[in-house]
Amino acid sequence: MKIVTIVGARPQFIKAAVVSRVLRSVSKAREILVHTGQHYDEKMSDIFFKELEIQRPDYHLGVGSGFHGAQTGRMLEAVEQVLLEEKPDWVLVYGDTNSTLAGALAAVKLHISVAHVEAGLRSFNRRMPEEINRVLTDHAADMLFAPTRAAVENLRRESISEERIHLVGDVMYDAALYYGEKARRESRVLERLGLKPESYILVTIHRAENTDTPSRLQAIVEGLCEVGKSIPVVFPVHPRTRKALERHRLFDEAVASLRLIEPVGYLDMVMLEQNARLIATDSGGVQKEAFFYRVPCVTLRGETEWVEIVELGWNRLVYPHSANAVANGITEGLASTGGMEGEPYGNGRSGELIVQRLLAV
């Protein structure tokens, strides 16, 4: 069986690494890896392939950034050419990026079966580009690999047929188990930055609703700066976030009060997550990694797709409408001792289940 895997952004590299490792161990499967180039900076892409031990892409499309429609269109055209050449049995897509949607659309128009890993997630916020991508991909796909029971119920409510839905758990949990131990062995980021365990807050901000809305970005920066008076705030700055900080004249204020650093590799990021006192983020993947490592999390959004960790008490939602809201939410999070125990994301064997289902068709 020939499977074309399409990735383009950091979270997809992590998820694909889990499934690809299983695929490589199966003799009757052959994987062709396509990197759209959605994240093309060396710090945002190449280092992940090295650390995650992913094979070099068979195709690197080099699409780069741009407006959503233009970027998706370029991807759709380029992916279609790959699929016409390779003629795979399945196209495997991950998550909710423009790469995900372009891969799914290119495949279904060529009558190639599509499998979607991380299907069924919903924020119920149609203003998020990611929400549109995930909904359209789910309805186009032939096989939907849902990470949670809530995701399964979302798909059922949208009248997706039962035989297309497969509850497999979350591949990110597989990754956390495997790479968490590797990070403890190999990462030296705490020593490089002079940090001690549980002595700092780790921050990641990258979503468009936060970076492209000046009032929200200002509230986040000012709130973080207030918190930074009492505890160091370590902030690996996403390239888009850096541009937004500079565009909205917030960069100097952030530099003065926060510890801004360049984006880090995956193993260093895992090490920073594992040892943080608290994580503040707008990333879905980082929310879950905080839970996997049992670190309290504050999500700077009005909603989350990962409702389970909010219900268990490990994550709290803080809508960044003001600096006080951000600072107070983080301060409350710092006072938290964690949440209830639970394993809503499977048993760490999601990659194996996905490959088993694909090969059983």
Position 48, amino acid:
F
139 assigned to active site: no
| 10-24 and 171-186 helices, crossing angle to 10° | 100
Tell me, letter by letter, the H, E, C secondary structure of 29-58. CEEEEEECCCCCCHHHCHHHHHHCCCCCCC
Q: What are the beta bridge partners of residue 34?
A: 6, 59
Question: What is the rounded distance in angstroms from the CA atom of residue 80 to the CA atom of residue 232?
Answer: 47
Contact, 300 vs 284, CB < 8 A?
no
Assigned token pair, 354: 């996905």
Position 38, amino acid:
Q
- Cα three-residue angle 166-170-173, rounded to 5 degrees: 155
Position 192, amino acid:
R
> Which among 273, 274, 286, 317 has a CA at the least distance from the CA of 299?
317
Residue among 116, 206, 238, 248 flagged as catalytic: 206
Catalytic residues: 206
